């Protein structure tokens, strides 16, 4: 009697716990909706002592602008005056925006008109003049090499307007780009494109929002559909999703409470938790259905299933957590955030699986009919599949060194987008019309003075530097004060005098000149980290030939591609560190779990082969090693080790390969199929970074399932026969 009473009390407490968890989750969800925010910038991936960011800050301090955007406008060649009038109105409105530090366009382009007898001794005039209310363009600008390729295309059909964003603006990218688009659309009907890092962040922001609000429900539906095929029961299929959905809400709540941002990495956390966490409920319910319902009460079956699955579920969760927790030790804040919060989220998934699912399972009074109809079936690995996959594995091992060496390491923000995106259309238009896709700055800042006062000899050396900068293979064009002087056919020293002695001169040259610094603008034909590496190496070699200049001036090279160069180096370093840490943590846990070295070594075979094939596929498909793809190894380790643990756990318990296979094959296959189905959903993403991630995860999970079920049993059997 007391035993029955204790069981009822235990069940009542468990139900109370479930109700409390659900109420807390609802309150957290309300908090998330009211306080959620996003960050599409790259700041989360750089350390605080980043040399690249320091160089950008130094240039921003001297010139007041942090980043630039390019507005490309195609002129109506049949109505040039009307087109120029529209462009002028656009520029006027853009200048009035609070975050705009300056605008460079053909309306500011000047030509040399002659010398004067008084300082500043030179006279200039505009290429665009207004006559009788209409704008007229002096087509001789197409013979001016300084402006062709920077402000106007070689054929004169497209204008490039450089919008310099002020360094200390507080407006987010959504409002910034929206304000620009409003200023453009309200003043012109001409065809145009916006290109630049702010536009990249704007597009990324929209994608991050989609991944937060749109893709998790789609993934939930995909998982639900797969589990409906397996369980053929709405309630059971729904139960598998309850723990990861609740865990996702809890983790988003913790992210916001601890002041962490939702960026291109952390936005994936809810989707990953749903994909990974649903497996625990699936294993629990699969084991529950394996029991003979006849003559047993549901409560006893739930308790027995809980006792059986407690160990493999929590062991699987711990090893998966280890795969992600290794990112906590890396030097990128975004990786640390993702690793920590996914690890905690996976623990929540396991905890809620072993508490909420038994409670919710006991609420149903009708599912017994389904249990009684459930048919047990034994899966046997086809011999042809085992042999075929073994041959495939050997071929992959032999090809690995060659293919892995061909993994692209060059990364850039434009590669995140599909070729048919509006941003990439603008980039291609920029390259077609102007011959470049990114810009850099080289700034020379005087050390011993608040004003920039180079000697004539130093000016000559700076002129030589620009000539050598033009010869760098990745540089399509350069702009500077010295190029401006050459365009006006005057000496650089006379131009400096013009700048120092007149407000007109300072306004004319403010893009390149500040009180104690000048800067060169370098236009490159690439936007990737490889282009940036070539450029910075060449610049350093050039500056090494002018040691006397380095004594009086500090030189800073900056540009957004240099940020991606720094990220590229950090990504490779983090990939190596995360692989070593993940593997070490997982192997240590396996030794603790199985208490046998041989069993632990068998268990890591699937993850070792899966990770190897992940890099093989990257080399084969030319998928670069970048921020999103660097997390795949840890994810695959965490997912595939679950399969190995379940298989080895039941092999150790039953003592035979066939029994272990029969107990685990069905849930492993269905889990693998459901995971791949979820990542198929991500193939529809407008961003290539998520598409590449999805492709590698689909292939990696497929290899992990086959390695566990088709290769691992064959290896064990072979070694056992050899041992005998």
Q: Do the Cβ atoms of 710 and 644 come closer than 8 Å? A: no
> Of 320, 279, 272, nearest to 679 (Cα)?
272
pTM: 0.78
Comparing 83 with 381, which gets the higher pLDDT? 83
pLDDT at 175: 84
pLDDT, tens digit, 9 for 90 and up, residues 367-381: 544 444 444 445 566
Kindly state the tokens that stand for 128.
């665009």
Domains in the chain (CATH in brackets) are 2-35+214-363+383-412+565-723 (no CATH), 65-199 (3.30.70), 435-558 (3.30.70.100)
pLDDT exceeds cutoff 90 at 581: no
> Of 713, 719, 706, nearest to 388 (Cα)?
706
pLDDT exceeds cutoff 60 at 23: yes
pLDDT at 584: 83
pLDDT at 169: 60
Mean pLDDT score, 41-67: 74
> Of 532, 542, 526, 518, nearest to 467 (Cα)?
542
The residues with which 517 forms a beta bridge, in sequence order, are 445, 514
Q: How far is CA 371 from CA 165, 232, 388, 719, in A?
A: 65, 11, 37, 39
Alpha-carbon distance 640 to 635, whole Å? 9
pLDDT, tens digit, 9 for 90 and up, residues 230-278: 788 888 889 999 999 999 999 999 999 998 877 777 888 888 898 888 8
pLDDT, tens digit, 9 for 90 and up, residues 230-239: 788 888 889 9
Kindly state the tokens that stand for 400.
């690995």
Q: Residue 124: what are its φ and ψ, rounded to 5°?
A: -125, 165
pLDDT at 509: 79
> Of 416, 486, 427, nearest to 263 (Cα)?
416
pLDDT at 206: 75
Comparing 85 with 307, which gets the higher pLDDT? 85
* Residue 146 neighbours by CB under 8 Å, 6+ apart: 479, 483, 484, 486, 487
Give the chain's mean pLDDT: 83
Q: Per mean pLDDT, which range of 58-62, 119-123, 158-162 is the poorest? A: 119-123
Alpha-carbon distance 441 to 151, whole Å? 17
84-117 b/e with 16+ CB inside 10 Å = b? bbbbbebbebbeebebbbbbbbbbbbbbbeeeee
Give the number of other CB atoms < 10 A from CB of residue 134: 12
> Of 396, 392, 374, nearest to 384 (Cα)?
392
> Of 342, 336, 346, 285, nearest to 314 (Cα)?
346
pLDDT exceeds cutoff 70 at 2: no
Q: Residue 450: what are its φ and ψ, rounded to 5°?
A: -85, -5
Kindly indicate the confidence band of residue 1, based on its pLDDT and cuts at 50, 70 and 90: very low
Kindly indicate the confidence band of residue 475, based on its pLDDT and cuts at 50, 70 and 90: very high
pLDDT exceeds cutoff 70 at 546: yes
At 478 the three-state DSSP class reads strand
The residues with which 523 forms a beta bridge, in sequence order, are 439, 477
pLDDT at 501: 76
pLDDT at 374: 47
The residues with which 554 forms a beta bridge, in sequence order, are 445
Alpha-carbon distance 465 to 550, whole Å? 13
Cα angle value 335/337/342 (rounded, 5°):
100
pLDDT exceeds cutoff 80 at 3: no
Secondary-structure breakdown of the chain: helix, strand, coil percentages, each rounded to the nearest 5: 65, 10, 20
Q: Which of 361-365, 614-618, 640-644, 662-666 has the highest mean pLDDT?
A: 614-618
Comparing 612 with 42, which gets the higher pLDDT? 612
pLDDT exceeds cutoff 50 at 493: yes
pLDDT at 503: 75
pLDDT, tens digit, 9 for 90 and up, residues 164-176: 988 766 557 778 8
Beta strands in 25-133 (DSSP E): 65-74, 100-104, 110-115, 122-126, 128-131
Alpha-carbon distance 554 to 559, whole Å? 17
Comparing 506 with 239, which gets the higher pLDDT? 239
pLDDT, tens digit, 9 for 90 and up, residues 321-380: 877 877 777 777 777 888 889 999 999 999 999 989 988 887 765 554 444 444 444 556
pLDDT at 585: 80
Kindly indicate the confidence band of residue 157, based on its pLDDT and cuts at 50, 70 and 90: very high
pLDDT at 167: 77
Q: How far is CA 406 from CA 9, 403, 409, in A?
A: 62, 5, 9
pLDDT exceeds cutoff 60 at 71: yes
Q: Do the Cβ atoms of 530 and 412 come closer than 8 Å? A: no
pLDDT at 295: 53
Task: Tell me the pairing of strands 65-74 and 158-166.
Answer: antiparallel
pLDDT at 372: 46
pLDDT at 14: 63
pLDDT, tens digit, 9 for 90 and up, residues 187-220: 999 999 999 888 887 887 777 777 777 888 888 8
Q: Do the Cβ atoms of 637 and 615 come closer than 8 Å? A: no
Comparing 171 with 450, which gets the higher pLDDT? 450
Alpha-carbon distance 287 to 667, whole Å? 9
> Of 357, 416, 7, 373, nearest to 211 (Cα)?
416
The residues with which 556 forms a beta bridge, in sequence order, are 443
Kindly indicate the confidence band of residue 689, based on its pLDDT and cuts at 50, 70 and 90: confident
Alpha helix positions (H), 163-262:
173-185, 197-213, 215-231, 234-257
Give the CA count within 13 Å in the CB-facing half-sphere of 399.
Answer: 16
pLDDT more than 70, % of the chain: 89
Comparing 443 with 563, which gets the higher pLDDT? 443
Mean pLDDT score, 450-463: 88
> Of 281, 277, 227, nearest to 249 (Cα)?
277
Alpha-carbon distance 492 to 483, whole Å? 9
Kindly indicate the confidence band of residue 526, based on its pLDDT and cuts at 50, 70 and 90: confident
Q: Per mean pLDDT, which range of 97-101, 112-116, 540-544 is the poorest? A: 112-116
Q: Do the Cβ atoms of 251 and 345 come closer than 8 Å? A: yes
Q: Per mean pLDDT, which range of 262-266, 469-473, 705-709 is the poorest? A: 262-266
pLDDT at 94: 94
pLDDT at 108: 86
At 104 the three-state DSSP class reads strand
Mean pLDDT score, 295-309: 78
End-to-end CA distance of the chain: 53
């Amino acid at each position: 009697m007391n035993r029955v009473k204790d069981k009822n009390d235990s069940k009542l407490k468990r139900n109370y716990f479930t109700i409390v968890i659900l109420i807390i989750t609802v309150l957290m969800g309300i908090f998330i909706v009211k306080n959620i925010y996003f960050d599409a910038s790259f700041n989360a991936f750089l350390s605080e002592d980043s040399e690249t960011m320091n160089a950008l800050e130094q240039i921003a301090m001297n010139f007041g602008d942090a980043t630039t955007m390019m507005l490309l406008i195609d002129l109506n060649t049949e109505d040039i005056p009307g087109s120029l009038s529209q462009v002028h109105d656009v520029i006027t409105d853009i200048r009035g925006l609070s975050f705009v530090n300056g605008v460079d366009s053909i309306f500011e382009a000047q030509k040399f008109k002659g010398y004067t007898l008084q300082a500043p001794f030179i006279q200039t005039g505009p290429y665009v003049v207004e006559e009788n209310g209409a704008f007229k363009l002096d087509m001789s600008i197409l013979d001016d090499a300084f402006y062709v390729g920077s402000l106007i295309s070689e054929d004169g059909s497209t204008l490039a307007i450089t919008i310099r964003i002020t360094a200390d603006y507080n407006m987010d990218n959504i409002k910034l780009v929206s304000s620009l688009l409003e200023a453009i659309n309200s003043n012109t009907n001409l065809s145009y494109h916006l290109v630049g890092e702010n536009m990249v962040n704007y597009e990324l922001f929209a994608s991050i929002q989609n991944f937060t609000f749109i893709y998790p429900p789609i993934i939930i539906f995909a998982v639900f559909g797969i589990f409906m095929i397996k369980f053929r029961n709405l309630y059971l299929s729904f139960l598998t999703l309850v723990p990861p959905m609740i865990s996702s809400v809890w983790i988003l709540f913790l992210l916001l409470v601890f002041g962490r941002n939702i960026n291109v990495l952390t936005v994936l956390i809810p989707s990953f938790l749903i994909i990974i966490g649903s497996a625990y409920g699936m294993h629990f319910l699969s084991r529950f259905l394996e029991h003979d319902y006849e003559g047993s009460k549901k409560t006893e079956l739930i308790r027995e299933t809980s006792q059986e699955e407690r160990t493999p579920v929590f062991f699987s969760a711990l090893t998966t957590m280890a795969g992600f927790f290794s990112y906590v030790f890396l030097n990128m804040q975004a990786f640390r955030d993702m690793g920590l919060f996914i690890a905690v989220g996976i623990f929540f998934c396991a905890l809620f699986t072993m508490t909420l699912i038994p409670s919710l399972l006991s609420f149903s009074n009708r599912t017994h009919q389904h249990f009684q109809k459930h048919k047990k079936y034994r899966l046997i690995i086809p011999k042809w599949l085992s042999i075929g996959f073994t041959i495939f594995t050997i071929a992959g091992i032999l090809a690995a060194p060659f293919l892995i060496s061909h993994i692209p390491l060059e990364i850039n923000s434009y590669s995140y987008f599909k070729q048919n995106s509006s941003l990439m259309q603008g980039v291609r238009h920029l390259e077609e019309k102007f011959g470049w896709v990114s810009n850099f700055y080289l700034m020379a800042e005087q050390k011993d003075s608040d004003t920039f006062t180079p000697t004539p000899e130093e000016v000559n050396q700076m002129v030589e530097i620009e000539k050598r900068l033009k010869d760098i293979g990745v540089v399509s064009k350069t702009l500077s004060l010295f190029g401006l002087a050459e365009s006006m056919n005057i000496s650089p020293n006379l131009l400096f005098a013009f700048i120092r002695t007149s407000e007109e001169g300072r306004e004319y040259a403010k893009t390149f000149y500040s009180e104690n610094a000048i800067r060169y603008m370098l236009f490159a034909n690439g936007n990737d980290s490889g282009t940036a590496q070539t450029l910075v190496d060449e610049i350093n070699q050039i500056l090494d030939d002018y040691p006397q200049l380095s004594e009086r001036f500090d030189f800073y090279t900056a540009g957004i591609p240099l940020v991606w160069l720094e990220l590229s180096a950090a990504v490779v370093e983090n990939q190596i560190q995360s692989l070593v840490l993940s593997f070490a943590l997982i192997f240590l846990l396996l030794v603790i779990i199985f208490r046998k070295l041989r069993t632990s070594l068998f268990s890591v075979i699937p993850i070792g082969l899966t990770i190897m094939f992940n890099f093989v596929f990257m080399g084969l498909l030319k998928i670069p090693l970048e921020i999103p793809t660097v997390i795949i190894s840890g994810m695959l380790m965490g997912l595939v080790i679950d399969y190995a643990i379940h298989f080895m756990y039941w092999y150790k318990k039953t003592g035979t390969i066939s029994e272990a296979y029969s107990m685990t094959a069905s849930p492993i296959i269905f889990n693998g199929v459901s995971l791949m189905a979820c990542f198929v959903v991500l193939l529809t993403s407008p961003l290539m970074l998520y598409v590449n991630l999805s492709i590698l995860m689909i292939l990696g999970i497929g290899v992990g399932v086959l390695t566990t079920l088709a290769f691992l049993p064959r290896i064990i059997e072979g070694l056992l026969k050899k041992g005998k």
